[in-house]
Structure 1
Amino acid sequence: MEAVPLEHILLLGAVLFSLGILAVISKRHAVVVLMGIELIFNAANLNLVAFSRYDPSLLQGQMFSLFVIVVAAAEAAVALAIVLRVYQYFKTANLNEIVSPENK
């Protein structure tokens, strides 16, 4: 079986990263912004694993990717808990409609 060229993997990583940045910048729903951040993390993980293929004796890329996945899972759990609490308080998940009590 033929290996996928590095350029293709890096292109996929760039597309994932761009889609994540686009979601974070353009969307105003809190859950969609969190999904964009996860796309950015996944693009970085893909690049780490792709580059670690060139040093097969060391598993630094895979181990760092595993660490990033664990941190991203913890971040997603905390962020979703915060989004739920904000939704309970403000009755909206739209980031543009959330204002501090002093500004009401």
Structure 2
Amino acid sequence: MIEFKTMLVLSALLFSLGIFSVLSKKNAVSILIGVELILNASALNFVAFSKFNIMRAGITDLTGYVFSIFIIVLAAAEAVVALGIFIAIFKFLKNIDVEKADLMRW
């Protein structure tokens, strides 16, 4: 069984990698992957705290699991919309560099 601290460390590592990816990359797909890492880290955190609550108090509380499912659904919808926007930008600019995408203004 995975310990509570291990899950929290893994969640913090995923969150840090996601923040690093969002702040350092210029490619839109890399930024999207970073956002997905951040969302997965928060889902893992919800599951970890829910599991810890069940182990410690013996209470069957599924709130963390439900929130993690909502986060996964939100991440999937966000990825579909973002990839659609990236395809439209790529058709127009032949590149998905974020710094060049601001040229699509009026």
Q: Under a length normalisation based on structure 2, what TM-score does the superposition of the two structures give?
A: 0.89
Q: Give SS of 1:28's match.
A: coil
Q: Deviations along 1:49-83, whole A, 9 cap, x unmatched? A: 00001333110000010011011100100000000
Q: Which moved more, 1:83-92 or 1:73-82?
A: 83-92
1:1-104 map, 5 Å: 3-56=1-54, 57-100=60-103
Aligned residues between the structures: 101
- 2:49 is aligned with what amino acid? F
Distance in 1 between residues matched to 2:84 and 2:25, nearest whole Å: 20
RMSD of aligned alpha carbons: 1.5
Q: Unaligned 5+ residue runs, structure 2?
A: 55-59
Distance of aligned partners of 1:35 and 1:71 in 2 relative to their CA distance in 1, 3 Å threshold: same
**Percent of aligned positions with the same letter in both sequences?**
44
Q: Unaligned 5+ residue runs, structure 1?
A: none
Distance in 2 between residues matched to 1:97 and 1:34, nearest whole Å: 16
Q: Which runs of 4+ in 1 moved over 3 A?
A: none
Q: Deviations along 1:7-65, whole A, 9 cap, x unmatched? A: 11100000000000000000000000000000000000111000001333110000010
- 2:65 is aligned with what amino acid? Q
Q: Under a length normalisation based on structure 1, what TM-score does the superposition of the two structures give?
A: 0.90
Greater fraction helix? 2
